[in-house]
């Protein structure tokens, strides 16, 4: 299982902060650096800059919402990032949430499974430097992209429900989860996507799991902080469904906290259930917690 870092500077800092965060992750030996795309800097643009400054680490988005971005346009942007970074980009995409797409952006969130299927039907050939030729109900695209220096890019989907996982297995390279605990990963996410891929004769999908992590001597304080920091995710229907599957009252219940050994054991156990990549969302509150959490993650590197 590869170990990566889920960054926060793309939302909370400057572009220089994003570069510094990715550089630190690379210098520490991590396999990947994941940038969320919420309401801060554009993640793909930031990763293009990171790709010119930080030479080795895999760069991924976690995740870019699909509805506001035409698949041909995002493919063109991704080929540019791939070319700028020496072909180290993995595009993570997701539907976002109805409250964001409809209430904030004024767009339709109608038929999300159909939307994802059609979106990937256009995006995936383009990601491989092949032309897209697709006619659907919402997308009709005939065209290609030629971006010199890009060998293409991987695509993973923030797929949570069964139908989304099946579409992802059929068309994309894997899934990237958040607010999905180990029991749900083992009993729902991984068997669903893996079985669907096997039935279609497709390669075993990549499963990238992101969870909050904190090495601490005060689990109660860490849980209280996690409940506050990640509170919004417990209110969004798609994440709420995953928390309910886990029997978790909220995100604090799936946070990985404790001593260095306890944290390492819980993260390492994810490999046994089929997680291929782990992205640590570090949330230490003190300098000691921050340093020890990073040391715990470094201790899992092979």
- 184-237 confidence digits (pLDDT tens): 999 999 999 999 999 999 999 999 999 999 999 999 999 999 999 999 999 999
pLDDT of 100 reads 87
Pairing of strands 140-143, 277-282: unpaired
Residue 104: which pLDDT band, with cuts at 50, 70 and 90? confident
pLDDT of 98 reads 85
CATH number of 162-280: 3.20.20.30
Q: Which two tokens stand for residue 50?
A: 């990171």
Residue 54: which pLDDT band, with cuts at 50, 70 and 90? very high
pLDDT of 59 reads 98
Residue 249's CB is within 10 A of a number of other CB atoms, namely 12
Residue 302: which pLDDT band, with cuts at 50, 70 and 90? confident
pTM beyond 0.95: the answer is: yes
CA distances from 243 to 112, 140, 220, 227, 293 (A): 20, 36, 19, 13, 24
Q: Which one is predicted more confidently, 100 or 148?
A: 148
* Residue 97 clears pLDDT 90, i.e. is over it: no
Give the torsion through C-alpha atoms of 77, 81, 87, 93, to 10 deg: -60
pLDDT of 6 reads 97
Residue 247's CB is within 10 A of a number of other CB atoms, namely 11
> What average pLDDT does the segment 255-275 reach?
98
Give me the phi and psi of 109, to 5 degrees please: -105, 30
The mean pLDDT of the chain is: 97
Cα–Cα dist 148/159, whole Å? 31
Cα–Cα dist 194/249, whole Å? 28
């Amino acid at each position: 299982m590869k170990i990566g870092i889920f960054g926060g500077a793309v939302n909370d800092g400057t572009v220089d902060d994003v570069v510094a965060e990715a550089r630190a992750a690379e210098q520490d030996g991590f396999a990947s650096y994941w940038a969320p795309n919420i309401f801060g800097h554009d993640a793909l643009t930031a990763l293009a800059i990171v790709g010119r400054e930080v030479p080795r680490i895999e760069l991924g988005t976690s995740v870019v919402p699909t509805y506001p971005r035409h698949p041909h346009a995002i493919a063109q942007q991704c080929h540019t990032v791939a070319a700028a970074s020496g072909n180290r980009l993995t595009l993570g995409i997701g539907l976002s949430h109805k409250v964001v797409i409809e209430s904030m952006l004024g767009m339709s969130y109608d038929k999300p499974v159909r939307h994802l299927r059609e979106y990937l039907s256009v995006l995936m050939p383009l990601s491989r430097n092949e032309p897209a030729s697709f006619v659907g109900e919402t997308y009709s695209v005939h065209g290609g992209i030629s971006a010199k220096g890009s060998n293409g890019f991987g695509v993973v989907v923030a797929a949570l429900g069964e139908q989304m996982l099946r579409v992802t297995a059929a068309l994309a390279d894997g899934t990237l989860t958040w607010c999905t605990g180990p029991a749900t990963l083992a009993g729902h996410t991984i068997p669903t996507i893996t079985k669907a891929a096997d039935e279609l004769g497709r390669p075993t999908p990549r499963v990238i799991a992101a969870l909050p992590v904190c090495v601490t001597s005060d689990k109660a304080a860490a849980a209280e902080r996690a409940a506050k920091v990640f509170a919004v995710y417990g209110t969004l229907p798609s994440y709420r469904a995953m928390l309910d599957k886990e029997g978790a009252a909220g995100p604090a219940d799936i946070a990985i906290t404790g001593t260095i050994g306890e944290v390492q054991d819980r993260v390492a156990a994810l490999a046994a259930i089929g997680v291929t990549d782990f992205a640590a969302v570090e949330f230490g509150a003190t300098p000691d917690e921050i340093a020890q959490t990073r040391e715990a993650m470094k201790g899992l590197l092979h």
